[in-house]
Amino acid sequence: MVVFPDPPFELTTSVAFTRMTFSLPTSTNCTLKPMRKSCFDDHSPVSRAKGDLSEATRSLVGTDDMFSRLFYADLRSRLGWAVSRRWYLLRASWHAWDKEPWIFALVLGLIATAFFFALRAAYERQDHRRSLVCLARNVYFEARGEPVAGQHAVAEVTMNRRASGRYSDTVCGVVYQKNWDPIRKRYVGAFSWTEFDTLPTPAGEDWLRAWEVAEAVYYEREAPVLEGAMFFHATYIKPDWAKGKRPLARIGGHVFYK
């Protein structure tokens, strides 16, 4: 049943037809193809109501474009209703859901995650501190009386060995590494000062300078003094391992090799 306002009636927008209901004929063709315009000719309430409309309105109602607009307007309204209903059901289920266990699990997970990252950060800080102590001790005992450039070179040798893959992957492992000496028939330290059982406690300006050099090289705050230096020895000795190695520079009382 289509209800129109009392005459005079002028159709100015398609919204007036969004609430129309159409009665489809039961013929086979219209059942298979209900979108065909011929299915509504002389059968639908709109067609029967044409006699009460103006000529312009009857021509507009009888067009396929008008029917398509009515059909898709109804389709959009149905889709909007379905979406609204689904949203309402989701909200209702959310309010009815017992959320306390999940909130507790979420809070517990956040606390555990924060604790894990804090613990890892503390471990990394401790690891950096340990590495700096080992590097500064190596600079202090190997090059305490050397110029600053020589101390930088000793620290760079230590860090280059760590990065080479042929030594330990930690600074302390490189400093205290022992290698087999076929002449002495025993393992000896890579740095001579690690062979002593007792050592004086680092202190004073020399220790502060060694710590500053260690920090600068460890955190790469300055350009390397010797690029690629891996070995060094005092100038007053000539070890066998230095034969065949290319010397890079002589700084203070040490000769450095690539």
Q: Does the predicted TM-score (pTM) go above 0.75?
A: no
- Residue 232: beta bridge partners? 256
Distance, CA of 99 to CA of 77 (rounded, Å):
34
How much is the pLDDT for 68?
A: 63
Domains of the chain by residue range: 14-96, 123-257
How much is the pLDDT for 40?
A: 44
How much is the pLDDT for 20?
A: 44
How much is the pLDDT for 69?
A: 63
How much is the pLDDT for 257?
A: 93
Q: Helix H segments across the chain? A: 28-32, 45-48, 55-61, 64-96, 100-143, 148-164, 171-175, 204-218
How much is the pLDDT for 55?
A: 57
Q: Do 22 and 43 touch, CB atoms closer than 8 A? A: no
- Residue 247: beta bridge partners? 257
How much is the pLDDT for 118?
A: 86
- What DSSP character marks residue 124? H
How much is the pLDDT for 243?
A: 86
The 10 Å CB-count burial string (b at 16+, else e) for 36-72 is eeebbeebbebeebbeebeeebbeebeeeebbeebee
In this structure, the strands spanning 247-251 and 254-257 are antiparallel
Sign of the dihedral defined by the CA atoms of residues 41, 47, 51, 56, in that order: negative
Distance, CA of 7 to CA of 186 (rounded, Å):
117
Distance, CA of 122 to CA of 207 (rounded, Å):
25
How much is the pLDDT for 158?
A: 95
pLDDT in tens, the chain (258 residues): 444 444 444 444 444 444 444 444 444 444 444 444 444 444 444 444 444 445 555 555 555 555 566 666 666 777 778 888 888 888 887 777 777 888 888 888 899 998 888 888 877 788 889 999 999 999 999 999 899 999 999 999 999 999 988 899 899 999 999 888 877 788 888 898 998 888 888 989 999 999 999 999 999 998 888 888 999 999 998 888 888 888 999 999 999 998
How much is the pLDDT for 255?
A: 94
- Rounded to the nearest 10 degrees, the angle between the axes of helix 148-164 and helix 204-218 is 40
Between CA 167 and CA 191, with CA 150 as vertex, the angle to 5 degrees is 35
How much is the pLDDT for 70?
A: 62
| Start-to-end C-alpha separation, the chain | 99
